[in-house]
Amino acid sequence: MALVSFKNTILHNLVSKPKTRKVEKEYPVGTRGHVENDMDVCVLCGLCSIKCPTHAITVDKAEKTWSIRPMSCIQCRCCVDNCPKKCLSMGLRFQEPGSEKLTKTFKQSEKAIAAQEALMKAAKERAAAAAAAKAAQAAQAGGAAPAAPAANANPAPAAPAANQDNK
């Protein structure tokens, strides 16, 4: 009798829908899963590292790397909101659990390095042009001052000379 009942349960489970539901794969808008950095845009200014309350971010300008310790991150979004280049964002996927406190390191891309070098070169050229213009202005101002007395000095001796000729 019990065997018949068991068979009925098996048959019922084979044809019926699952009693459980799948985990939702869509994250709600605004989910703060984990921090992502677009290394094509990051200029390694270090502001995110300064603003992070848990010191989860490290920036090494010499090595051109940006690092984050995901397990120290509390998903406060402070780094994202303060990044001047807007290259940080909160990815939807949550940080996977693990037994070790990893540090994830990302190298600045060649594209970003080239863009940054071009910006620095342009800034240096602008500064040099401004300094040259200032120097030229100063030289012009300095040259104009002595020229005025020289022009005034010439007529003074000319007058007595003319008088001498008349005598």
Chain residues that interact with ligand SF4, rule: CB under 6 A: 35, 37, 42-48, 51-54, 56-57, 59, 66, 68, 73-79, 83, 85, 87-88
- Residues 65, 43: Cα–Cα separation, whole Å: 10
- Residues 51, 74: Cα–Cα separation, whole Å: 13
Q: From the CB of 78, what's the least distance to ligand SF4, in Å?
A: 4
Cβ-based nearer residue to ligand SF4, 55 or 154: 55
Q: From the CB of 10, what's the least distance to ligand SF4, in Å?
A: 50
Cβ-based nearer residue to ligand SF4, 104 or 126: 104
Long-range pairs for 92-96: beta carbons < 8 A, 24 or more residues apart: 92/27, 92/31, 92/33, 93/27, 93/33, 93/34, 94/33, 94/34, 95/33, 95/34, 95/70, 95/71
Cβ-based nearer residue to ligand SF4, 88 or 99: 88
Q: Tokens 């240096």 label which residue?
A: 124
Cβ-based nearer residue to ligand SF4, 102 or 136: 102
Q: From the CB of 97, what's the least distance to ligand SF4, in Å?
A: 17
Q: From the CB of 57, what's the least distance to ligand SF4, in Å?
A: 5
